[in-house]
Amino acid sequence: MAVATHLGPWLLGTVKDTTGTTAGLIRNVGATHSFQSKAVVYTDTTANTTLAVLPAGAMIQQVQFLTTTAYGTTTPAFTIYVNGTAVSASVSTTAFGSTGRANIALATTNPGLVANVGTTDAIVSFTQAAVSASAGAGQLEISYIVRNADGTYGAAS
């Protein structure tokens, strides 16, 4: 598998415009799902560490932490930011103390930035706080939908 880049959303489906009221005539085109990830260890406690850079207009779907090495002592608390503005509360869970995947709830603050990161590319960053551990590692993963810079995903006519 390789990495490829492209401009704008990839659209999937066969009917671009609605011309009727039955399946096969109603628009069924949607945008594809993308993701980026970053390896994180218990010593990554610098505020606003870059997780990913999302294209303008992107809609964030989910942020998860996959713990591959359990955190010892105190589990971390993650906060997610879009261009320096928090889009999550500080999230800590006992799931960080064992291996596995934990969701980080988004849109608890500034839901508009989760729905559309803005008209220019956005830096998504995180802060990992409250870590007093001697071990702990994992992958911080962000999934999103690539859209046009204005937040739409329809192809130009």
Closest CA to 84 of 114, 122, 55, 111: 122
Per-position pLDDT tens, the chain of length 157: 556 676 667 777 788 888 889 988 888 887 888 999 999 998 998 999 999 999 999 999 999 999 899 888 677 888 999 999 999 988 877 667 788 888 899 988 899 999 999 999 999 999 998 777 778 899 999 999 988 888 887 765 5
CATH of the domain at 88: 2.60.120
Q: What pLDDT, on the 0 to 100 scale, is given for residue 60?
A: 96
- Measure CA 107 to chain center: 11
The domain total for the chain is 1
Whether residue 20 is contained in a domain is answered as: no
Whether residue 18 is contained in a domain is answered as: no
Q: What pLDDT, on the 0 to 100 scale, is given for residue 6?
A: 67
Question: How many angstroms separate the CA atoms of 49 and 81, rounded?
Answer: 9
Closest CA to 128 of 68, 58, 51: 51
Whether residue 2 is contained in a domain is answered as: no
Whether residue 11 is contained in a domain is answered as: no
Helix (H, G, I), strand (E, B) or coil at 96: helix
Instruction: Look up residue 91 and give its DSSP letter.
Output: B
Q: What pLDDT, on the 0 to 100 scale, is given for residue 31?
A: 80
Question: How many angstroms separate the CA atoms of 39 and 126, rounded?
Answer: 12
Q: What pLDDT, on the 0 to 100 scale, is given for residue 8?
A: 67
Question: How many angstroms separate the CA atoms of 73 and 26, rounded?
Answer: 55
Whether residue 21 is contained in a domain is answered as: no
Whether residue 72 is contained in a domain is answered as: yes
21: its two tokens = 């009221």
- Could you give phi then psi for residue 94, rounded to 5 degrees? -65, -15
User: How far lies 74's CA from each of 29, 38, 70, in Å?
Assistant: 46, 21, 11
22: its two tokens = 């039955």
Whether residue 103 is contained in a domain is answered as: yes
Question: How many angstroms separate the CA atoms of 89 and 147, rounded?
Answer: 26
Domain that holds residue 81: 33-145
